[in-house]
């Protein structure tokens, strides 16, 4: 194998800082992020059954307590079935 140094001279300088081009700076606003939830999504959220709400709350509490231990094998199986 032969490595020719002339090829390395013309390589792009990947790790050097790029020069800025005038007028291409992103404009920044001081507005906070905003999320809008559609009326259909609100209706679906309100349609959740009490048993589903209880399950969600118990999972949320287990996560906060640090006692939630998901089964990695079941998660992997569900990914493979997609």
Q: Are 59 and 68 in contact (CB under 8 A)?
A: yes
Report the distance separating Cα 28 and Cα 13, nearest Å: 29
Report the distance separating Cα 69 and Cα 59, nearest Å: 10
User: What is the structure's pLDDT at 71?
Assistant: 93
User: What is the structure's pLDDT at 2?
Assistant: 63
**Per-residue model confidence as pLDDT tens digits over 23-63:** 767 777 788 888 999 999 988 888 878 888 899 999 999 99
Structural domain boundaries in the chain: 38-82
Structure tokens at 70: 């998901």
pTM above 0.75, yes or no: no
Average pLDDT in the chain: 81
Cα separations in angstroms, 14 against 10, 11, 18, 19, 24:
12, 8, 9, 12, 20
User: What is the structure's pLDDT at 74?
Assistant: 93
């Amino acid at each position: 194998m032969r490595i020719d140094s002339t090829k390395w001279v013309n390589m792009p300088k990947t790790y050097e800082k790029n020069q800025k081009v005038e007028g291409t700076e992103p404009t920044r606003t001081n507005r906070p992020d905003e999320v809008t939830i559609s009326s259909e999504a609100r209706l679906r959220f309100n349609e959740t059954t009490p048993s589903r709400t209880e399950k969600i709350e118990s999972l949320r509490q287990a996560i906060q307590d640090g006692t939630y231990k998901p089964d990695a094998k079941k998660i992997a199986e569900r990914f493979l079935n997609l």
